[in-house]
Amino acid sequence: MKPAPFEYHRVERTEDALERLAELGDEAKILAGGQSLVPMMNFRLVRPPALVDISRIPDLRYVERDGDCLRVGALTLHREVEQLDDPALIRGYELLPRSARWVGHYPIRTRGTFGGSVAHADPSAEWCMLAVLLDATVVVSGPQGEREIPAADFFLGFFTTAMEPGELLVEVRFPRPRPHAALQEFARRHGDFAIVAAAVAVDVDGDRMTDARIVIGGVDEIPLRVTDAEAVLEGAEPGAEAFAEAGRAAGAAVEPSADIHGSAEYRKELTAVLVRRALAEAVGGEGGDGG
């Protein structure tokens, strides 16, 4: 569990990071919190010849409100998201701090970064799911300047994104508040990656739900939107019946594969249960922790 040899470069400005990445070529990896990359290197599952450590770039670590929009700097720690409590900042985005407790264990949250998790693109990672759920825009910086990638186009597969070599994720931008949103996960053990996770958001207009969004983690190569289940909720009255039906639709729509932690059938069942529970939590509006 010692990594293969690699070069280590530390930078303190985004421009320097881009410059160094350009020099080092396609195989170099960006090191932020190191909570996924370093274990993978220790298992020798990845062997980057060089690392560019961006963890000390000061101006990538922020959470800012810009009207409706919430901007999260790439180097913001999970723990910092967890601790967001200024209503002026997070109103309508309470799901973010509430979801942070699902991210690994406390020590991981004090080192791992928001942008690092999104760039790593584990399909059951909370921030990846919420990026898709909340229609976020991923801002990346590259040799040709910045570009913005909709989350829907960002995740391409297991640990694979639309970022090009030489690019650096600098910000995740959430466009509009969604107060009726929730995340539910199931894992056999506290702090583990979920066997299945379900994130939901709806708008509640009187006694009708609109603009429902349902994203499932752990059942596909990317955080998976299940539009069949979303359609069930469109215009439906909030309540146990609609939530259960959406759950069933989601369970029927996903095509998970099996591993030692659960069969495909089990994942489908969990999907149905977690979607239903997440909707109840989201529309309950209390922001209860769901358990």
CA distances from 239 to 5, 47, 91, 225, 233 (A): 56, 50, 24, 21, 10
3-state secondary structure of 1: coil
Nearest to residue 11, comparing CAs of 64, 71, 75? 75
**H or E segment at 215?**
strand 208-217
- Residue 289 in contact with other proteins, rule: CB under 8 A: no
Neighbouring C-alpha atoms within 13 Å toward the C-beta of 274: 27
- Residue 193 in contact with other proteins, rule: CB under 8 A: yes
CA–CA separation, 182 and 166 (whole Å): 35
Nearer to other proteins, 57 or 280 (CB): 280
* DSSP string for residues in 98-163: HHHTTSS-HHHHTT-BHHHHHHHT-TT-HHHHHHHHTT-EEEEEETTEEEEEEHHHHEEETTEESP
Candidate list 16, 192, 203, 245; residue touching other proteins; CB under 8 A: 192
Residue 90: CB minimum distance to other proteins, A: 26
CA–CA separation, 196 and 85 (whole Å): 28
Candidate list 75, 96, 209, 270; residue touching other proteins; CB under 8 A: 270
Candidate list 189, 206, 207, 289; residue touching other proteins; CB under 8 A: 189
Q: What is the dihedral of CA 227, 133, 146, 59, to 10 degrees?
A: -170
- Residue 190 in contact with other proteins, rule: CB under 8 A: yes
- Residue 261 in contact with other proteins, rule: CB under 8 A: yes
Residue 43: CB minimum distance to other proteins, A: 7
Candidate list 67, 85, 207, 260; residue touching other proteins; CB under 8 A: 260
Cα-based angle 143, 148, 151 (whole degrees, multiple of 5): 130
Residue 40: CB minimum distance to other proteins, A: 11
- Please choose, out of 11-19, 50-58, 88-96, 264-272, the segment that lies near other proteins by the rule CB under 8 A: 264-272
Whether the Cβ atoms of residue 250 and residue 228 lie closer than 8 Å to each other: yes
Nearer to other proteins, 155 or 186 (CB): 186
- Please choose, out of 18-26, 57-65, 145-153, 259-267, the segment that lies near other proteins by the rule CB under 8 A: 259-267
Candidate list 44, 89, 91, 148; residue touching other proteins; CB under 8 A: 44
- Residue 43 in contact with other proteins, rule: CB under 8 A: yes
2-31: contacts with other proteins (CB under 8 A): 2-5
89-128: contacts with other proteins (CB under 8 A): 105
- Residue 266 in contact with other proteins, rule: CB under 8 A: yes
Nearer to other proteins, 203 or 269 (CB): 269
Whether the Cβ atoms of residue 281 and residue 273 lie closer than 8 Å to each other: no
Sign of CA dihedral 187, 130, 126, 268: positive
Nearer to other proteins, 67 or 190 (CB): 190
Nearer to other proteins, 88 or 260 (CB): 260
CA–CA separation, 70 and 110 (whole Å): 21
Catalog residues that contact other proteins under the rule CB under 8 A. 1-5, 43-44, 105, 186, 188-193, 260-263, 265-266, 269-270, 273
